[in-house]
Amino acid sequence: MPNINQLLRAPGLERAMERNFLCVSVETSVAEAIALRNNLNTSPYLVTTLVVVEQKQVLGLLSERELLALLVSGKSLSTKVAEVMNSSLITLKLSDSPDILTALSLLNRYQLNCLPVVDDRQEIEGIITHQSINQAILACNSDRRPGFSPPLNPPSTESQERQKPRKSLPEAITTSDRHSPNIYNKLFGAISARLKATEELTHTQEQLQAFFNAVPGFVSWVGSDGRYLKVNQHFASTYNLTPEDFLGKKVGLIESSPELTHIMDQFLASSTSKITCEVTSKVKGEFHNYLVVAQKYQNGNAAVTVGIDITERKRTEEQLLTATCRLSALIENLQAGVVVLDEFERVVLINQTFCNLFAIPILPAALIGADFTDFAEKYQHCFAQPRQFKQRYQAILSARKIVTAEELQLANAKILERDYVPIAVEENYVGNLWMYRDITQRKQSEAELRNSLVKQQELAALRSRFVTMTSHEFRTPLSTILSSAELLEHYRYKWTEEKQLLHLHRIQNSVKQMRELLDDILIIGKAEAGKLEFNPVAIDLVSFCRELVEDLQLNAFNKQEIAFTYQGEKTLIFLDEKLLRQILTNLLSNAIKYSFNGSTVKFSVLQKQQEVIFQVQDLGIGIPSEDRLHLFEPFHRGSNVDDLPGTGLGLSIVKKCVDFCQGTIKIKSQVGQGTEFTVILPIGH
């Protein structure tokens, strides 16, 4: 067998290559990968990193590091392995004939858990890990490892005496028998019995010695002075000695274990008949842990000891403790409530987040071992639908299938997302894991996103209506301007001054109409962008309203009359003149436009101490009830306006100006009878 140096530098990785490793595809979910690891019968040397392959090609690795990152981020266990795997790969090629030292150097330099080994076609052949390298080195040092064996009974002093050659014949041959005629017959019988007993004793000793030598533990017999009487072959071979090399030597000196020497001296000097302890001994340059059991015999004058190498067990326990501590820390710091149950639905592990989600006033440590079925019964009222929760809980337990991203609503309106993973060892069900995440904020964000999408769609429709409206509303005045300008160009010398002025006034009115439309659009844009300004100034409200009425009366269609009334002790108030003009102009213009011929528009103002009330009432076509929900939306027009001109911006401007002044607007309307608008604005004096 090669020595360690030869093994490390020899080309070829077959001795240190692990072929028993976990493989998953890119489409595998993280939950399925975890279940695969739980179902696999692992050993302390089996690497727990998963190799992600596709048609034998290595695509990535999935280790505890990636799983930890996934859980901390709060992502679902239904996430595909391809989304979380480490795709930055370092591989070894078999055709390059790398040695173990090269593999070890790569593992240490890049802090890798495992190193994939591929052939010329980049297909995976196996993996190299620190554990597989250690195994190869241990195999180089020793053909087998120490194991466990039950304590053996030592040879007693009586049996040792029987092994010594006798000096006389058996007592069955007496002195008187020597002169008897049957003396030779008796002597022959005694000799035959002696030979048979000796043969049986030799056979028994050979069997016992073979048994002792086959024991993989350290077996030794110690006298009352603490010196070895005998050791088995395994004991001696471990230190490259023979059993005879131990005879008469002090316990612990050859093994370089002063600790064992002290323990045995105290044990032999005491009245205790049996002890069990753990000691450390240096074997071939490495320290090993041994479980030592010692039992006295021969009335306490000697003892048999059995030593079992528990180094690997201790190492496994330390690794298990480390992994448990990491898992506990991970679960405790997860942004999710986690509870792990055994096959009897008793709590094995639970974190504080779980207790907080369901308002459990008990520390997690106090819940270990509790019956989780009682919890489900006691806290089902926390859910919006307690009966359905209980039925679903029982159905999941009965099916024992992975459940991911299942949503539940609590009675306090919170929304939880639940995962369930059954845990099995060697296909035997041993428990399950539940994970609950509070996704209330996420669901609210999704709802806001949907609302934003709806608003975007509404905005798109609004833009479409805007394009349609502007193209129509601008085309008419532009056509009028173009027509009048062409007529003036060709016929102004033939027309009277009065006819020329008529066409000039048509051009002016069309320009004014376009300017008013642009002003409306600009106000809507400023309001949407939050750029409207509020600049209150002192206004003589009576004079302001009368001038406004006179201007509108001159341009009134069908000669409708505006009846203005004012009630109040003071006429001087502080309001934004521009915003007030927009509000009243649009309300009165609409009242005039949609009133019947010859009707009267009532315009009243009531000034109070802290507010002023404007009321505009017409006797017109009214507003249908189905249009009132969209009345203040830009470009919306009533379904009964027919061919009456308009842009659908007036009431939208009114609403935005009223809101900007922190006022309110109310509407009463009946189709065919008219409409009444009431605007209330707060004022300053």
- Look at residue 420 and tell me whether its pLDDT is greater than 90: yes
- Rounded to a whole number of angstroms, the distance between the first and last alpha carbons of the chain is 108
- Look at residue 175 and tell me whether its pLDDT is greater than 70: no
Q: What SS3 class is residue 89?
A: coil
Of the listed ranges 195-204, 243-252, 358-367, the one predicted with least confidence? 195-204
- Alpha-carbon distances, residue 67 vs 73, 330, 347, 352 (angstroms): 10, 10, 23, 21
- Look at residue 157 and tell me whether its pLDDT is greater than 50: no
pLDDT tens digit sequence for 578-589: 889 889 988 998
User: DSSP per residue over 571-591, as a string?
Assistant: -EEEEEHHHHHHHHHHHHHHH
Alpha helices in 40-129 (DSSP H): 64-73, 81-84, 100-109
pLDDT tens digit sequence for 629-672: 777 777 667 776 766 666 667 788 888 889 888 899 999 988 88
pLDDT at 557: 54
What angle, rounded to 10 degrees, do the helices at 497-529 and 440-491 form? 170
CA dihedral 521, 525, 530, 535 (to 10 degrees): -30
pLDDT tens digit sequence for 60-100: 998 877 877 777 677 777 889 899 898 888 888 888 777 88
Going by pLDDT thresholds of 50, 70 and 90, the confidence category of residue 166 is very low
Q: Which residue has the higher pLDDT, 337 or 189?
A: 337
Of the listed ranges 33-37, 54-58, 362-366, 654-658, the one predicted with least confidence? 33-37
Of the listed ranges 165-169, 509-513, 520-524, 681-685, the one predicted with least confidence? 165-169
Element (H, E) at 668: strand 664-670
Going by pLDDT thresholds of 50, 70 and 90, the confidence category of residue 11 is low
* Residue range 441-460: mean pLDDT, rounded: 86
The two three-digit tokens of residue 251, written as one number: 């316990």
pLDDT at 617: 92
- Look at residue 559 and tell me whether its pLDDT is greater than 90: no
pLDDT tens digit sequence for 191-247: 556 657 777 888 887 887 787 777 778 888 899 888 998 888 888 888 888 888 888
Going by pLDDT thresholds of 50, 70 and 90, the confidence category of residue 473 is low
pLDDT at 545: 92
Q: Are 513 and 638 in contact (CB under 8 A)?
A: no
- Look at residue 522 and tell me whether its pLDDT is greater than 90: no
Q: Which residue has the higher pLDDT, 152 or 45?
A: 45
pLDDT at 413: 87
- Look at residue 348 and tell me whether its pLDDT is greater than 80: yes
* Residue range 95-116: mean pLDDT, rounded: 82
pLDDT tens digit sequence for 295-347: 988 888 889 888 888 888 888 888 877 777 777 777 777 778 899 999 999 99
Alpha helices in 530-635 (DSSP H): 541-554, 577-593
CA 284/CA 282 separation, integer angstroms: 7
Going by pLDDT thresholds of 50, 70 and 90, the confidence category of residue 171 is very low
Q: Which residue has the higher pLDDT, 71 or 268?
A: 268
* Residue range 352-375: mean pLDDT, rounded: 87
**Considering only CA atoms, which of 482, 537, 522 is closest in space to residue 656?**
522
Domains of the chain and CATH, by start: 4-141 (3.10.580.10), 179-314 (3.30.450.20), 334-438 (3.30.450.20), 443-510 (no CATH), 534-682 (3.30.565.10)
pLDDT at 194: 62
**Count of alpha carbons within 13 angstroms of residue 271, beta-carbon side:** 0
The contacts of residue 151 (CB under 8 Å, 6+ apart) are 293, 295, 304, 306
* Residue range 522-532: mean pLDDT, rounded: 72
- Look at residue 476 and tell me whether its pLDDT is greater than 90: no
Going by pLDDT thresholds of 50, 70 and 90, the confidence category of residue 679 is very high
- Look at residue 460 and tell me whether its pLDDT is greater than 70: yes
- Look at residue 399 and tell me whether its pLDDT is greater than 50: yes
**Average pLDDT over all residues of the chain:** 80
Going by pLDDT thresholds of 50, 70 and 90, the confidence category of residue 167 is very low
pLDDT at 677: 92
| Tokens 């929900």, located at residue | 629
